[in-house]
Amino acid sequence: MKTLKKFLFIAACISLLTTCSKPDEFIGDNLSGNDLKCAKLDPKTVKVPFKAKFSVWDKSDYTDNSCGGYPVFFLTMEGHGTTTHLGHITTKMTFCCNVITGEYYNTIGSFVAANGDQLFFEIPVGKIIPNDEDNSAYYQTKFNDPMIFTGGTGRFKGATGSGSTNAYVHDGTDEWRTDFFSTATLTLVKGKQ
């Protein structure tokens, strides 16, 4: 009987060790993977929802032929708004855009918080298309392309994640601007957020 108890005890220990060898992953407020089986409550990252509402205006130098010249221009957009995890922000993004087809590519940008922390993002490719939604009288075109977080500074160092631009372009005679209503999932290094 003692031998059976020792065998079962050793088997239980081995099972516990192999179960705890798989790393846990933190998603939102819940541990996934091994969950709480191993009582490993110190994950390295945390995933959080990200929302941004901001506007940008054209600050381009149309004499810059970095993208080849007409009809593909190197554009610079600058603006401000709010995002979760940064609060009030300023933003700047640059990209190449074909003004005839609406295709754009190589977008790089950043959100800058009031304390100077930055969150970097990219939009590899996208396309501006006519807006057929209920708000089309005000926003003539739109785009909703994948956005990827590529790091940052301060509490956003090592940040990753992705989302959608969900942007609308107002091309009125009074003012031209793009309004973003972006959503994403942001992965932050634990302790930075």
User: For 153, which DSSP code?
Assistant: S
Burial letters 80-117, b for 16+ CB under 10 A, else e: ebebebbeebbbebbbbbbeeeeebeebebbbbbeeeb
User: For 154, which DSSP code?
Assistant: G
Residue 126 in contact with residue 89, Cβ under 8 Å? no
Burial letters 55-76, b for 16+ CB under 10 A, else e: bbeeeeeeeeeebeeeebbbbb
Nearest partner of 57 among 77, 81, 76, judged by Cα: 77
CATH of domain 45-189: 2.40.160
pLDDT of residue 31: 41
Helix (H, G, I), strand (E, B) or coil at 7: helix
pLDDT of residue 92: 98
pLDDT of residue 74: 97
Ranges of residues in the chain with a pLDDT under 70 are 1-43, 192-193
Give the tokens for residue 6: 């020792």
The span from the CA of 84 to the CA of 49, in Å, is 8
User: For 15, which DSSP code?
Assistant: H
Amino acid found at 101? T
pLDDT of residue 174: 77
Give the tokens for residue 92: 């700047």
pLDDT of residue 41: 43
Q: Where in the chain is the domain with CATH 2.40.160?
A: 45-189
